[in-house]
Amino acid sequence: MHLKFSDIRDFLKRTDLLLFFLSLAAAIMGLVAISSATATMGQSYIYVQLFALVIGIVLFFVFTVIDADIFADQWPLLAVAEFVLIGMLAIFGSHDDTGNRAWIRFLGIGLQPAEVVKVIYIVLMAKHLTYLKEYRNLSSPLSVFQLVLHLLLLFGLYMVISGDLGNALVFIFVFAVMIFAAGLKLYWFVFGAAAMAVAIPLAWNYVLNDTQKNRILLPYMQDTIDPSGFGISWEPTRAKLALSSGRLWGTGLYQGTQTQTAVGGLRSKHADYIFACIGEEMGMVGCIAVILLLTAIILRCVYVGLHCHSTFGMLVCFGMASMLCFQLFNSVGMCTGLTPVIGLTLPFFSYGGSSLFTMFAAMGIVSGIHYRPKPAQFRAYSSMF
């Protein structure tokens, strides 16, 4: 019995409990916000989110115990899983209310493969970058070609099948952060910027449809794109009204006008616009709490990455942090009218079982990197911090 207690104590001591409790606090605050946002829509949403939270907590501790290097060594299987999950959308995918073929639904349960694929992609990219950095020349044309090919295949396949620009852009942002953190020569970023300058007009003219173009331009040309205000600008306008009406302390839970109006208010209030609902009912104080919680989680991921003394671990942590950072920025930006509405969840807060348990699994991987004993040559150095 004493041995078991000591094992548990050692496990809890090595687990990143700070990251766990920050994630749990964010998820609980999200549950409260979703409960209020869906008060006129039935209780099934809160039950699904609560069930996903339980699964997420289990996954956090499972991935804390599993060494990320071990399953990263199975990279061929991970690569197959990555593309199979996206390919399943072509067969079983269904359109949600945004028109994107981004969900697989069965027996009333929905799964968004992109949420899982983002985490797999980060692990695979970290493994690939580590190999190139330690055994090849990371900045050689062949290495860069391999990395870009992986990104383009994933981005292109996902866009063609799902049309989900939001999650597709996450792949690009994560890629840019991870190759920078790995130490890719800066001149490649200049070449990349030049390539994007050529690719963006081509994508605008031949890849994006009119709805996607209008969503991108809407924050800057609303009077031209939707002068009536009853089209695609309806929800962004309602979101800004919700935020402005909340003021400092908010209207109170279950009291927001835009949040509680069943017809004529926010439609995606529990998902894409959860930040606006929090702003209306919990005020600026609630919004600041959301931003501080997620910023703390991001900084914790960066901290673990900087102190793990492993190239692979550092890149995984930076990849997870960049994913959270992009989604936080976009979610806040689209509710305030600063960025286009591209359908990304606010991590830990937005409704969505796939998003919630995947985020906990991702944080579990970061916790697992913190959990692993440091190499002997680094232990004396680590004690200085």
Parse the chain into domains and list their residue ranges.
Answer: 13-373
Length of the chain: 385
Closest CA to 345 of 360, 326, 364, 363: 326
- Between CA 155 and CA 168 the distance in angstroms is 6
Closest CA to 68 of 383, 327, 315: 315
Helix 113-135 and helix 165-182: axis angle, to 10°?
20
Residue-by-residue pLDDT tens, the chain, 385 positions: 454 666 677 777 888 999 999 999 999 999 999 999 998 887 888 999 999 999 999 999 999 998 888 888 888 999 999 999 998 888 887 776 666 778 787 766 778 889 999 999 999 999 999 999 999 999 999 999 999 999 999 998 998 888 888 889 999 999 999 999 999 999 999 999 999 999 888 888 887 778 778 888 887 887 778 777 777 788 888 888 989 988 999 999 999 888 888 766 777 888 889 999 999 999 999 999 999 999 999 999 999 999 988 899 999 999 999 999 999 999 999 888 888 888 789 999 999 888 999 999 999 999 999 987 654 444 433 333 3
Entry pTM: 0.91
Give, rounded to a whole angstrom, the gap between the first and last alpha carbons of the chain: 34
CA torsion sign for 26, 31, 36, 40 is: positive
CA Rg value for the chain = 21
- Residues forming a β-bridge with 101: 95
- Between CA 49 and CA 47 the distance in angstroms is 5
The CA distances from residue 377 to 314, 330, 374, 382, 383, in Å, are 17, 41, 8, 9, 12
CA torsion sign for 176, 180, 181, 185 is: positive
